[in-house]
Amino acid sequence: MIPVVKWSGREARALRNARRMGVRQFAKHLGYTAAAVSYWEARGSDANLRQNTQEVLDADLALAPEDVRGRFEQALKADEDEMDSDTLGTSSSARTRDLLPQLRNQFARSLDYQAPDGATGRVRDFLRSSARVYLLAGPAGVGKTRLVYQLVTELAGAADFQLHTVGSWEFGSLDLAVEILRYSSVPKENDALLTLEAESARLRRPCLVVIDGISSQSQFDRVGRQLDTILRQVTTGWLRFLLVLRTPPAVETRAHPVLNAAIFDPPSGRDQGPQHLLGPWDMVTARQIWNSSRAGDGPPFEHLPASVQQLTRLPLYMQLVLTSGDGTAAADGNAYRLIDHCVHAILRAEGQDSESVIAELSDIAARQTADLVPAGLTVGALREDHDTHRDEPSRISTAVLVRTPAGRVEFTHDVLREYFLATRIAGLLRDRGRLVPTVGALNHLADQAVHSAAARTLFELVIHCLDDVDRDLLGLAAMSPTIATGTTLPLMLAIAGDIGRFATPDVLRACAQRCDQDTALELARALLATSAVYPALGSDCPQWLLSLLRRFGAAIWRAVMTFIELNLDAAAVRILLDLADLDMGAESIFFARYYFLFIGDDSVTSGALERLLEHQSWRVRAGLAEALRDEHSPPTGTSRTVMDRLVADADYKVRAAAALSLHRVTPAPARRYLTTLLTDENWHVRERVLHDLLTAPRPPRILAELADTAAETIAAEPSWTHCPAHVRPMLQRLRLTHGPHDAVDDSAATGQALFAMLRETRTGWTSLPKPVFTAVVEIARRSPNWLVVREAAALDEPVAADPKPGGLDDPRMYRESFRRRRGHRSLQVALDMHDLDDALIVARAAGQAGVDFVEVGDPLIKRVGLRAVERVKREIPDVLVVAEMMSADWGRDQVVLAAEAGADVVQLIGPATIASVAAAVEAGHRLGVPIVLDAPTALLTQPWVAAMERAGVDGFTVTTNIDVGIGSRHSLATARSIRGWTQLPVAVSGGFSAADQTIITSRDWDILIVGRSVADAVDPGGAARRIAESVRDHDEGSR
């Protein structure tokens, strides 16, 4: 028998295969969790197994039958032979190379496509990161698929690719794992998911599975559910996914927790969110591409009508105009008119009767997308004289239709199919000429458009078409009492914009009057985006704007501000200011927040500014400070006057708000303000100055000058030698980043600053300049704080260049790893104790028993402080430590303090606002710490759970103390409700022990929390072991 000198994930997998067991069965056989076995195997030869685990595997191999030992030897040898065998990647790459020329032929060669700047670089960053899902989103025709094909070519040396499209799948029988294996000609064997896991483990570089054509929330959810399952099972970082999403509307990803946590969301792209949004070309790029792509006798870009120039910023529309051969004759106006002109021109150039062919193609479009046709129009959408079972036109136009390898006839682009369908629907509505069916059809289409990009484009084209052929009918529909003011009417106005003919002054005035309903927020926003509203309302416009502010509050502020900036002249602004009640808090905050729109150097507006500066509410004065940070706020004499007053304000909260605006001030006065605020009488104000210096964007030279000024001011001010504990880490971080390094000491505050900087570097949240990074790591290596030394050591290891990036020791993957607990069985021991030494004994025993989590409970933290978390983590460094923080308010501070003490997970207890939870989640993302939220009974509803899920929490806890007694609601019932509302893991407590077999066998929890049954046991290790074994015996959810 081959002796195993040191067990790793490679040998463990060979032994499992030799025993012919799945992961779940093998884990149960050994007495471990399936998650642990999956972790070993995912790490492969890099997995460092504990000594007791090595002994367990030694014993299992020694006791194995001869045939198992023989298969073990063969498996190890086969594994060595297969080390260089990457069937999934190499076969995928070979097939993609064969397919790509055929796929590219679907695009006409007349367009010289150019990818957006930085698009390839962003995907390269994704491939180098630990994230496993990339979202590429944009409107129809923007060039998403073209970009994918370009990425395949440019990144062929860095990754293997698979190219899938949802249009080729039957969703009713879809198995995504099977499709991935089939693409690379790998047999699925008995279990496609296990086969994919095994094949992915042999990948030697990223294999990027592209899934194109997702155009609705329902399609995304169907793919997302299966992708979430794959990500839970296949933990190697080499299997990646690129999802191509057609928007708007944007898709919601939070219903798929592991997928959501695995999405690439770099700090540099957070202004656009986790989706990489492709937009139209800018005008310069569009001109360049048009002029390089046009035929010799084609008009130059400058000769195209202005609206055609705008529309051809989309690659699809430029392609259509180039193919039609006559851009100058394209009807000036909207997208429908442009497509209609191009289709007629193309068909006529091919010698076809364009009207009859369009009617024929409209029938085909109606049959292919029957689910989009309003119910009352379904029958009429098909011509009676047409064969409804045959999608075969009399003659195929290669610019409009394409025959697939399977023999099906499809439109060359989804937008063309939607154009033909819109033509049919608009024609039917016009022929009927009745208001009721028109409003019903528009409401139906708008309802679909909320969740489907295809339906959104169809609705847009129907509106454009009707606006051309029967704008009176459309205008009457807009004023109908049955038109949906929450969906249909806002969409109609947004689509019409400033070129919609139906949006007459009478229509706009009628719509404005309907904004007196609380449900009309979207209608108000749509009207504010329409410049024609101002002349339509005339002198009533200022009062209407005030009515919106008073009804919708801060939710409408940004839209009102933009409307005022783009439309109102100085006289109208003065009228609005005169009508406003600057003594009313909520209203005056808006005018303070956007004072730069209203305040000039005249005596009238200057008086209004003085009223705001002297306002009795500090929130109004703080609003002026926030206005200074607005990108629309120009640096003027007025802004300097405002800053002078705010820096000297009597209320520290206003001065703190002003401190966060320092980066918007020119360098000379900024140094003066910096000196004043760093010697402020309130430490919160001083801390806000440091925060602005460390986080706000500035040119490097100016930042260096201000940092020097700050260092000189701090050194000269005696009170800084007695800096309070909560400010010291920020001060030390400033010194570590900008110097002087000789002022950096070995204090606890320095350790906190170092830990945060290093952990943020590991999570990708912060990117330190190379000299700063080198200096910080060197200082960290000498730190007396072992957690800081560990972070520095982790950066010394080749994490970024790990042959399997995304390993479970990567803090960028902690949230994803925690969310994979859903559907598995994990055990958490709560140290709700009063003595630290006793707690350490229990923690050590629990760790040796193989529990998944050890919780440092609130009683211990209250008694000892967060030092308890650090001591427990030091005692059991390989076990995940949960810090129970009893206040969910001040969530960000709670998370930071717990993480700096060594907590791997933070459990927040107590009711909290969404804003506080979101702040805690932001800190968790920054520091790589999952956030688990207690579910208070008083707030527990499905909308509350959904709101917390949207805020970004990673799980929920149902805590029921045994002291509550037998009359309380059973925690399993509560957990069952929560698990029905979310796919996040749910932990449950309630005085459980090994005797509670009903609890242990229940499928209503993912993490079982036990306290006294272990912590108060005479033999805590034995008690923990018995419960752990019982939990593992019933771990049916793991593979």
Provide the CATH number for the domain around residue 159.
3.30.370.10
Task: Flag whether pLDDT at 580 surpasses 80.
Answer: yes
| Residue 695 maps to a domain | no
CATH number of the domain that residue 891 is part of = 3.20.20.70
Task: Flag whether pLDDT at 801 surpasses 50.
Answer: no
Q: Give residue-wise pLDDT tens across range 262-314.
A: 999 887 655 556 778 899 999 999 999 999 888 777 889 998 888 889 999 99
Q: DSSP label at 216?
A: B
Q: Give residue-wise pLDDT tens across range 51-66.
A: 788 889 999 998 999 9
Residue 380 has what pLDDT? 47
Residue 967 has what pLDDT? 44
Side-chain-facing half-sphere of 237: CA atoms under 13 Å: 26
| Residue 762 maps to a domain | yes
Residue 332 has what pLDDT? 61
Instruction: Look at residue 337 and give its three-state secondary structure.
Output: helix
Instruction: Look at residue 508 and give its three-state secondary structure.
Output: helix
**What proportion of the chain, given as a percentage, has pLDDT over 70?**
91
Question: Residues 861, 889: contact at Cβ < 8 Å?
Answer: no
> Looking at the structure, do residues 803 and 852 belong to the same domain, yes or no?
no
> Looking at the structure, do residues 803 and 936 belong to the same domain, yes or no?
no
Q: Quick one: which of 247, 218, 234, 226 has its CA closest to 141?
A: 247
> Looking at the structure, do residues 272 and 130 belong to the same domain, yes or no?
yes
| Residue 143 maps to a domain | yes
Q: Give residue-wise pLDDT tens across range 105-135.
A: 766 566 778 888 888 999 999 998 889 999 9
pLDDT tier, 405 (very low <50, low <70, confident <90, very high otherwise): low
| Residue 728 maps to a domain | yes
What is the average pLDDT score of the chain?
Answer: 87
> Looking at the structure, do residues 38 and 121 belong to the same domain, yes or no?
no
CA distance 119 to 113: 13
> Looking at the structure, do residues 945 and 984 belong to the same domain, yes or no?
yes
| Residue 640 maps to a domain | no
Question: Is residue 908 within a helix (H) or strand (E), and if so which, with residue range?
Answer: strand 905-908
Task: Flag whether pLDDT at 459 surpasses 90.
Answer: yes
Residue 379 has what pLDDT? 45
**How large is the average pLDDT for residues 505-531?**
93
pLDDT tier, 236 (very low <50, low <70, confident <90, very high otherwise): confident
Angle, CA of 547, 551 and 552, to the nearest 5°: 115
Q: Quick one: which of 31, 26, 33 has its CA closest to 11?
A: 26
If one compares 832 and 1031, the residue with the highest pLDDT of the two is: 832
Task: Flag whether pLDDT at 1002 surpasses 90.
Answer: no
Task: Flag whether pLDDT at 213 surpasses 60.
Answer: yes
Side-chain-facing half-sphere of 436: CA atoms under 13 Å: 1
CB neighbours of 517 closer than 8 A, spacing ≥ 6? Answer: 485
Task: Flag whether pLDDT at 808 surpasses 50.
Answer: no
CA distance 66 to 523: 76
CA distance 740 to 754: 15
CB neighbours of 548 closer than 8 A, spacing ≥ 6? Answer: 515, 524, 528, 556, 560
> Looking at the structure, do residues 70 and 93 belong to the same domain, yes or no?
no
Q: How many CB atoms within 10 Å of residue 619? A: 18
CA distance 190 to 186: 12
> Looking at the structure, do residues 960 and 1002 belong to the same domain, yes or no?
yes
**Torsion of the alpha carbons at 137, 138, 139 and 144, rounded to the nearest 10:** -90
Task: Flag whether pLDDT at 754 surpasses 60.
Answer: yes
Task: Flag whether pLDDT at 216 surpasses 70.
Answer: yes
| Residue 544 maps to a domain | no
CB neighbours of 739 closer than 8 A, spacing ≥ 6? Answer: 707, 711
Residue 436 has what pLDDT? 87
| Residue 711 maps to a domain | no
pLDDT tier, 389 (very low <50, low <70, confident <90, very high otherwise): very low
Task: Flag whether pLDDT at 831 surpasses 90.
Answer: yes
Q: What is the largest CA-CA distance in the chain?
A: 98
Tokens (6 digits) for 992: 């459980």
Task: Flag whether pLDDT at 647 surpasses 90.
Answer: yes
Task: Flag whether pLDDT at 243 surpasses 90.
Answer: yes
Q: Which of 235, 250, 277 is the last residue of a domain?
A: 277
Task: Flag whether pLDDT at 717 surpasses 80.
Answer: yes
| Choice among 83-97, 647-661, 759-773 with the minimum mean pLDDT | 83-97
Q: What are phi and psi of 675, to 5 degrees?
A: -65, -40
CA distance 756 to 235: 27
Question: Residues 936, 910: contact at Cβ < 8 Å?
Answer: yes
Question: Residues 983, 1012: contact at Cβ < 8 Å?
Answer: no
Residue 55 has what pLDDT? 87
| DSSP states of 390-437 | ----SS--TTTEEE-TTS-EEESSHHHHHHHHHHHHHHHHHHH--HHH
> Looking at the structure, do residues 948 and 865 belong to the same domain, yes or no?
yes
pTM exceeding the 0.75 threshold for the entire prediction? yes
> Looking at the structure, do residues 853 and 999 belong to the same domain, yes or no?
yes
Question: What is the residue type of 982?
Answer: T
| Residue 735 maps to a domain | yes
**How large is the average pLDDT for residues 338-367?**
88
Residue 653 has what pLDDT? 97
Q: Give residue-wise pLDDT tens across range 901-938.
A: 999 999 998 777 888 899 999 999 999 999 999 988 87
Q: Which of 777, 809, 841 is the last residue of a domain?
A: 809
pLDDT tier, 804 (very low <50, low <70, confident <90, very high otherwise): very low
Encode 800-829: b = buried (16+ Cβ within 10 Å), e = exposed. Answer: eebebbbbbebbbbbbbbbbbbbbbbbbbb
**How large is the average pLDDT for residues 747-756?**
93
> Looking at the structure, do residues 113 and 44 belong to the same domain, yes or no?
no
> Looking at the structure, do residues 60 and 113 belong to the same domain, yes or no?
no
Q: Is-cis flag, bond preceding 299, omega within 30?
A: no
Q: Is-cis flag, bond preceding 771, omega within 30?
A: no
Count the domains in the chain. Answer: 5
| Choice among 598-602, 656-660, 672-676 with the minimum mean pLDDT | 598-602
Q: Which of 475, 503, 531 is the last residue of a domain?
A: 503
Give the residue numbers spanning the domain of 444.
333-503
CA distance 264 to 778: 30
> Looking at the structure, do residues 97 and 42 belong to the same domain, yes or no?
no
Residue 388 has what pLDDT? 41
| DSSP states of 241-263 | EEEEEE-SSPPP-TTSHHHHHTB
Residue 358, classified by CB atoms within 10 Å of its CB into exposed (0-12), middle (13-18) or buried (19+), is: buried
Task: Flag whether pLDDT at 387 surpasses 50.
Answer: no
